[in-house]
Amino acid sequence: MPHIKQKEITSSNTNKTTLASIENKWKKVTNILLKQIGATEHKNWIQPLSICSIQNKILEIIAPNRFLRDWVSMHYTNKISDIWKTTYPNEIISINIITAPKLHTQQKNIANNSQNKIKTTTTNNGQTDTWEDEQPKNIIKKYALDPRFTFDNFVIGKSNELAAAAAKRVAEDTKISFNPLFLYSGVGLGKTHLMHAIGWKICESFPDKKIIYMSAEKFMYEFIHSLQNKNVMSFKEKFRNIDIFMVDDIQFIAGKEKVQDEFFHTFNSLIEQNKQIVISGNCPPSEIKGLTAQLCSRLNGGLLADIQQTDYELRLAILKSKLKYIKNIEIPISVLEFIADKITTNVRELEGALNKVAIQAEITNKPVTIKTTQYVLQDILRSNTKEITIDHIQKTVASCYNIKASDITSKKRARHITRPRQIAMYITKLLTPASLPEIGREFGGRDHTTALYAIRKIEDLIPHDTELSKSIDILINKIKYA
Ligand code: ADP
Ligand code: MG
């Protein structure tokens, strides 16, 4: 077929070409990115991604697993976003990376190939991407446990000893001492790890006990799906005969009335049958906004165990323990001490930093020193030491929403300006020590009640508006790491 005709056919059918045209743009953007980051990083981190859609100016990208998603979010979204915005102005305001464990075969192969390459060169933790297929019989396949997350691999320090002891008690005792166990902490401090560890331990000691571990998000999606397909009964049925029910990140369903009700019923019926429940959240139940009083009081009815920020000793011990996954690369203790001293945010970031150092050494075939580490981790180190200013927050939010930074501090009241302004105030409260009067002042000489109103408004919206909440996460990442 002559070239011109083919073009005509494609352009006459805009609906069909939507995904194809996004894919073409994705190719172009990643080719530009390739020049910035080099072939190896591109192959390891960018090639396994696939493009999904652009909706409401949010570009959705699929990563084959959580690790890749977190890594790419942290290190490449800003670059991708900048290139996309420059090449195709006004098309996107932000990027959302999601995981899709059940990609179709071709995509999965690509993802696996690339993943394995990374793992075989740097790690020896025995993990394969097929771990979902290698589960003990008391785990329903769909609610798989990650083999890396065991008690043996969990390093205990002052900040997590209560949570770890409580988790072990749940896993080892035949009688129930507290119900539920509620674990809470900021991100990346080991809640999910401990829940999986409970699962593994029970599988080992009590092979007949039935376990379900799921994220609250998954609970919600399965529930909604069952409503749509009119098989709520079989959804409920699933929780009838289990012995241990673990739900991760409960804050996700806060404010979502129907889902919370359903969860409340499931929770009560299991408690009545004396079945063990373990829940995690990003703060204690009483501080989770949008949780019903009933559910809050139920969640408070067992043991609350928090995990606090790590101290230097624990960070160093964790890094040392992770060395067993790194083969053929020598990482001097001085470098571990350097990382433990500098990366203080959370364990996920700590692990990420160690992996990055190892990958870089593998690629360049050069010995690891504090100097090379400083170079490899410069972005992360900057974000760990950088003081976040209100001005930086205002500029970043404004640029993501395609408005001027001066609009944020202006008196303008158009909605396309007020919402980003409220978001910027909310993020300022979150990331800086500024008081409400200070925030009001910095946002165009407003008073503290206006600042409070703006912050409350966003806090109220977040539990109901997944897109907003994800955009805010992305903005926070950008502000901290860009
Ligand atoms: P959370 O669920 O609290 O956000 P995760 O359980 O996902 O955090 O932990 C983030 C990463 O840090 C995981 O890879 C986990 O294995 C690791 N991690 C957290 N705490 C510890 C610890 N005490 N010892 C070893 N690894 C840890
Ligand atoms: Mg978690």
φ, ψ of residue 159 in degrees (nearest 5): -70, -20
Between the CA of 106 and the centroid of ligand 1 the distance, in Å, is 31
Pairing of strands 58-63, 94-99: parallel
One domain, residues 61 and 93: yes
| 318 pocket-lining for ligand 1 (C-beta < 6 Å) | yes
Per-residue tokens: 433: 């020590």
Per-residue model confidence as pLDDT tens digits over 209-250: 999 999 998 899 899 999 999 999 999 998 888 999 999 999
Between the CA of 214 and the centroid of ligand 2 the distance, in Å, is 11
| 190 pocket-lining for ligand 1 (C-beta < 6 Å) | yes
Reported pTM: 0.61
One domain, residues 149 and 259: yes
Number of structural domains found in the chain: 4
One domain, residues 188 and 86: no
| 281 pocket-lining for ligand 1 (C-beta < 6 Å) | no
One domain, residues 243 and 229: yes
Q: What is the pLDDT of residue 73?
A: 81
Does position 107 have pLDDT exceeding 80, yes or no? no
Between the CA of 394 and the centroid of ligand 2 the distance, in Å, is 29
Between the CA of 188 and the centroid of ligand 1 the distance, in Å, is 5
Nearest listed ligand to the Cα of residue 71: 1
One domain, residues 199 and 226: yes
Please, what sign has the CA dihedral across residues 349, 350, 353, 354?
Answer: negative
131 within some domain: no
| 149 pocket-lining for ligand 1 (C-beta < 6 Å) | yes
Nearest listed ligand to the Cα of residue 248: 2
Query: Closest Cα partner for 48 from 74, 28, 29, 67?
Result: 67
Q: What is the CATH number of the domain that holds 301?
A: 3.40.50.300
Cα angle for residues 327, 329, 332 (degrees, 5° grid): 120
One domain, residues 423 and 358: no
φ, ψ of residue 93 in degrees (nearest 5): -110, -25
Q: Pick the last residue of a domain from 321, 349, 384.
A: 384
Does position 399 have pLDDT exceeding 90, yes or no? no
198 within some domain: yes
Between the CA of 167 and the centroid of ligand 2 the distance, in Å, is 15
φ, ψ of residue 305 in degrees (nearest 5): -130, 125
* Mean pLDDT of the 14-36 span: 77
One domain, residues 264 and 149: yes
- Going from the C-alpha of 201 to that of each of 207, 310, 318, 390, 434, the distances in angstroms are 10, 24, 21, 46, 45
Q: What is the pLDDT of residue 386?
A: 63
- Between 66 and 410, where is the model more confident? 410
Ligand 1: residue whose CA is nearest its atom 20: 190
Q: What is the CATH number of the domain that holds 474?
A: 1.10.1750.10
Query: Closest Cα partner for 43 from 273, 302, 363, 382?
Result: 363
Give the Cα separation of 170 and 278 in Å (integer): 9
Q: Pick the last residue of a domain from 306, 325, 360.
A: 306
Which atom of ligand 1 is nearest to 189's Cα? 3
| 155 pocket-lining for ligand 1 (C-beta < 6 Å) | yes
Per-residue model confidence as pLDDT tens digits over 175-189: 888 999 999 998 999
411 within some domain: yes
Q: Pick the last residue of a domain from 384, 412, 431.
A: 384
One domain, residues 156 and 292: yes
Question: Ligand 1: which of 348, 350, 355 to mutate, most ligand atoms within 8 Å of CB?
Answer: 348
298 within some domain: yes
* Mean pLDDT of the 190-204 span: 95
| 154 pocket-lining for ligand 1 (C-beta < 6 Å) | yes
Q: What is the pLDDT of residue 361?
A: 87
Question: Ligand 1: which of 193, 195, 321, 323 to mutate, most ligand atoms within 8 Å of CB?
Answer: 193
DSSP class of residue 365 equals T
pLDDT band at 7; cut points 50, 70, 90: very low
Q: What is the CATH number of the domain that holds 328?
A: 1.10.8.60
Between the CA of 429 and the centroid of ligand 2 the distance, in Å, is 23
How high does pLDDT run on average in the chain? 83
| 470 pocket-lining for ligand 1 (C-beta < 6 Å) | no
125 within some domain: no
Segments in 257-311 forming alpha helices (H):
257-272, 293-299
Q: What is the pLDDT of residue 66?
A: 67
In terms of residue numbers, what domain contains 90?
3-119
Does position 482 have pLDDT exceeding 90, yes or no? no
